């Protein structure tokens, strides 16, 4: 399988190279660029036994630039100023994007540190990424950005396929090692406004990337990590929603350390500047034979309901209520007000 992806990558690069060399801008086209600035902020307060958990937070602060050299070639660089926190709760800054894109004749190819397609389509149907991450992202099933090459091809209006070859660690941990992630996806549009999608990947085992074993466990069997994602969605001008199933096999390369779950969500436009939305997630996990206790603290249910007000094109405000019903802990209820600024 490695050889197939390597050959595919070479074919894509060889195919687009002549296009780079031969493409000539028409008289009407003028190279141009635009600044990318986006921020997610929120205020939250807990109820009951978590009523002391309250305050303001910032979860995303993008600043970058996109430049279009020709009609088909562009490049993008983005700095993420709120991608993580230090041990003292200070914000950490990361290079999120640094890639070149070629989009022509049904192909869409990215080379560099680029967004991945593992759950980016699901995010579009969820529509409220600034309120909460999509299921796979929230449960740390895969990185949203990685270093490598991705290629998508639209055969027609009904079917498209995508492949990617990446490091596998994500954009917060970029390094060379013996581990690579090979991914493939297939999207079908059987009728207007609908999508059916299947995605799978293989992440090669590497000793330096393995998950740490729980206290008291000294031995484990190690295998490659696999992911599977199934998605069905519908979206038009007023309604958007989706159902997805996701599973990771051998998480951290530990045999039988799996986790999986479902996410169901819907969003509806109820007035010119208003939408309502709801979501339900269910997460579960399985243990290797020699593990004496559950390992995944995220197992449980999430229920959310809220509304979105968009007074300006660049501003969204979403009050929402959340119930977190963990398998190994008390249920928690929160009220959030989320804010997106997108210039």
**Residues 197-247: tens digit of each pLDDT:** 999 999 999 888 899 998 888 889 999 999 999 999 999 999 999 999 999
What CATH fold (topology level) applies to the domain 2-18+33-206+220-342?
A: Porin (2.40.160)
- Tokens 């070629």 -> residue: 102
C-alpha span between 215 and 217 (Å, rounded): 6
DSSP state of 115: E
The whole model's pTM is what? 0.88
How far CA 303 is from CA of 17, 115, 216, 343, in Å, comes to 48, 28, 35, 30
DSSP-assigned states of every residue in 250-284: SGGGBTT-EEEEEEEEEEEEEETTEEEEEEEEEEE
Token code pair at residue 256: 């039988």
Range with the poorest average pLDDT among 42-51, 62-71, 159-168, 171-180? 171-180
Where in the chain are the domains?
A: 2-18+33-206+220-342
- Tokens 């309250």 -> residue: 54
DSSP state of 24: -
- Tokens 């992806």 -> residue: 5
Contact 279, 322 (CB under 8 A): no
C-alpha span between 72 and 84 (Å, rounded): 34
pLDDT digits (tens, 9 = 90+) for 95-127: 999 999 999 999 999 999 999 999 999 999 999
- Quote the mean pLDDT of the chain: 90
For residue 87, the model assigns a pLDDT of 67
How far CA 228 is from CA of 45, 202, 288, in Å, comes to 35, 9, 19
Q: Identify the burial level of 214 via C-beta atoms within 10 angstroms of its C-beta, where 0-12 means exposed, 13-18 middle and 19 or more buried.
A: middle
DSSP state of 49: G
- Tokens 């910032």 -> residue: 58
At residue 79, φ and ψ (nearest 5 deg) are -105, 130
Instruction: Determine the 3-state secondary structure of 330 from DSSP.
Output: coil
Q: How confident is the model at residue 7 (pLDDT cuts 50, 70, 90)?
A: very low
Token code pair at residue 136: 């796979």
Q: How confident is the model at residue 92 (pLDDT cuts 50, 70, 90)?
A: confident
Closest among 150, 53, 44 to 101, alpha carbons compared? 150
State the average pLDDT over residues 291-313.
94
How far CA 96 is from CA of 80, 116, 136, 149, 231, in Å, comes to 6, 12, 18, 15, 26
For residue 4, the model assigns a pLDDT of 47
Please name the residue ranges forming H helices in the chain.
2-22, 120-126, 135-138
For residue 335, the model assigns a pLDDT of 98
Cα Rg of the chain, angstroms:
21
- Percent of the chain exceeding pLDDT 90 equals 73
Contact 320, 307 (CB under 8 A): yes
Q: How confident is the model at residue 14 (pLDDT cuts 50, 70, 90)?
A: low
Closest among 237, 238, 247, 244 to 279, alpha carbons compared? 244
At residue 124, φ and ψ (nearest 5 deg) are -65, -35
């Amino acid at each position: 399988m490695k050889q197939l992806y390597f050959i595919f990558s070479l074919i894509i690069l060889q195919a687009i190279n002549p296009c780079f060399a031969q493409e000539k801008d028409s008289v009407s086209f003028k190279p141009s660029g635009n600044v990318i600035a986006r921020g997610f902020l929120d205020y939250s307060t807990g109820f009951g036994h978590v009523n002391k958990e309250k305050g303001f937070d910032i979860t995303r602060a993008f600043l970058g630039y996109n430049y279009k050299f020709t009609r088909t070639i562009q490049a993008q660089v983005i700095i993420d100023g709120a991608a993580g926190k230090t041990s003292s709760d200070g914000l950490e800054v990361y290079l999120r994007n640094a890639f070149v894109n070629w989009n022509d004749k049904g192909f869409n190819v990215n080379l560099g540190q680029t967004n991945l397609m593992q759950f980016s389509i699901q995010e579009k149907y969820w529509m409220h990424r600034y309120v909460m991450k999509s299921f796979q992202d929230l449960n740390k099933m895969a990185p949203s950005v990685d270093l490598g090459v991705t290629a998508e091809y639209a055969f027609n209006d009904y079917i498209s396929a995508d492949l990617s070859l990446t490091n596998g660690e994500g954009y917060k941990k970029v390094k060379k090692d013996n581990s690579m992630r090979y991914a493939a996806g297939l999207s079908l549009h059987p009728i207007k406004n609908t999508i059916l999608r299947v995605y799978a990947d293989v992440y090669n085992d590497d000793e330096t990337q393995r998950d740490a074993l729980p206290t008291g466990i000294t031995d484990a069997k190690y295998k490659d990590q696999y992911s599977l994602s199934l998605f069905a969605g519908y979206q038009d001008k007023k309604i958007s929603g989706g159902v997805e199933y996701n599973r990771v096999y051998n998480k951290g390369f530990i045999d039988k350390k799996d986790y999986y779950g479902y996410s169901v969500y819907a969003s509806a436009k109820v007035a010119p500047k208003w939408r309502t939305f709801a979501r339900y997630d269910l997460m579960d996990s399985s243990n290797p034979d020699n593990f004496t206790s559950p390992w995944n603290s995220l197992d449980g249910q999430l229920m959310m309901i809220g509304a979105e007000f968009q007074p300006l094109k660049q501003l969204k405000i979403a009050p929402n209520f959340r119930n977190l019903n963990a398998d190994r802990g008390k249920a928690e209820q929160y009220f959030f007000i989320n804010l997106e600024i997108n210039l």
